[in-house]
């Protein structure tokens, strides 16, 4: 399966096919110290365009959701495309099997959406394939079979890559959600500690 990804020295996947990897913050205090940020800065930054605070982690989470919607749309398209290609391969194989038998092939074909007509197909050496963009070309049955099989293999390979991309993306969403929760919980804990220390000093 072809995919492009890069890794950090620690072996953590930094990205996959343009999808950035999420950083898991195991120790919030260490993370803040190393990055030189406070909690608010870690969770938000000022956009250079309009200086409006934007939650960094929440913004990244939203970006992941947008990418997920696009990948799911591509997955649906491929899942619909693969059966169509397989049906075309079956039709060409049936035409080749009927060739030379002297037996005509009786079939119904779609003229328009919901409108079908019956056709009698005698021996044929070629078929016409829609290539998209209102383009149709005539191929020999052998050429059509080779082209359709190639398209089928490419579609299945693309679907396999998309499934892996979606799994990677969902892992990053989970990591980001956990990181957001850890940072917020750490901040709440620190506030309670400071509050308790203040009460102890006053008393």
Q: Does residue 14 lie in a domain region?
A: no
What per-residue confidence (pLDDT) applies to 62?
84
Tally of domains within the chain:
1
Query: Is 146 part of a structural domain of the chain?
Result: yes
Is residue 107 in a domain? yes
How many C-beta atoms lie closer than 10 Å to residue 168's C-beta? 19
Q: pLDDT of the chain along its 203 residues, tens only?
A: 444 454 444 435 577 888 888 877 777 777 777 666 666 666 653 223 333 333 567 778 888 899 999 999 999 999 999 999 999 999 999 988 888 787 888 888 888 888 999 988 888 889 999 888 889 999 999 999 999 999 999 999 999 999 999 999 999 889 888 887 887 888 888 888 878 777 666 55
How far is Cα 198 from Cα 114, in angstroms, rounded to an integer? 76
pLDDT tens digits, residue range 8-35? 444 355 778 888 888 777 777 777 776 6
Domain assignment present for residue 134? The answer is yes
The answer to whether residue 80 is domain-embedded is yes
Q: Which domain holds residue 87?
A: 55-189
Specify if 50 maps to a domain. Answer: no
Q: Establish if 118 belongs to a structural domain.
A: yes
Q: How many CB atoms lie within 10 A of CB 143?
A: 15
- Other Cβ atoms within 10 Å of 20 Cβ, number: 14
Percentages helix, strand, coil for the chain (3-state, rounded to 5) are 60, 20, 20
What CATH number corresponds to the domain at position 154? Answer: 1.10.287.370
Residue 135 belongs to a domain:
yes
How far from 131 is each of 28, 60, 83, 86, 136, CA to CA, in Å?
A: 54, 38, 16, 15, 6
């Amino acid at each position: 399966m072809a995919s492009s990804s890069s890794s950090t020295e620690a072996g953590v996947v930094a990205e996959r096919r343009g999808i950035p990897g999420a950083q898991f913050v195991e120790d919030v205090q260490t993370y803040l110290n190393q990055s030189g940020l406070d909690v608010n800065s870690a969770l938000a930054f000022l956009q250079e365009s309009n200086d409006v605070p934007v939650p960094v982690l929440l913004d990244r989470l939203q970006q992941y959701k947008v990418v997920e919607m696009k990948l799911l749309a591509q997955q649906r398209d491929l899942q619909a495309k693969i059966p169509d290609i397989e049906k075309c391969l079956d039709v060409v194989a049936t035409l080749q099997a009927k060739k030379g038998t002297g037996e005509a092939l009786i079939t119904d074909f779609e003229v328009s959406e919901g409108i079908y007509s019956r056709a009698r197909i005698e021996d044929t050496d070629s078929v016409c394939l829609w290539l998209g963009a209102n383009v149709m070309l005539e191929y020999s049955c052998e050429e059509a079979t080779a082209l359709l099989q190639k398209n089928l293999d490419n579609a299945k390979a693309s679907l396999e890559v998309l499934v892996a991309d979606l799994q990677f993306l969902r892992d990053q969403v989970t990591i980001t959600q956990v990181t957001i929760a850890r940072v917020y919980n750490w901040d709440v804990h620190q506030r309670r500690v400071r509050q308790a220390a203040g009460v102890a000093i006053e008393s």
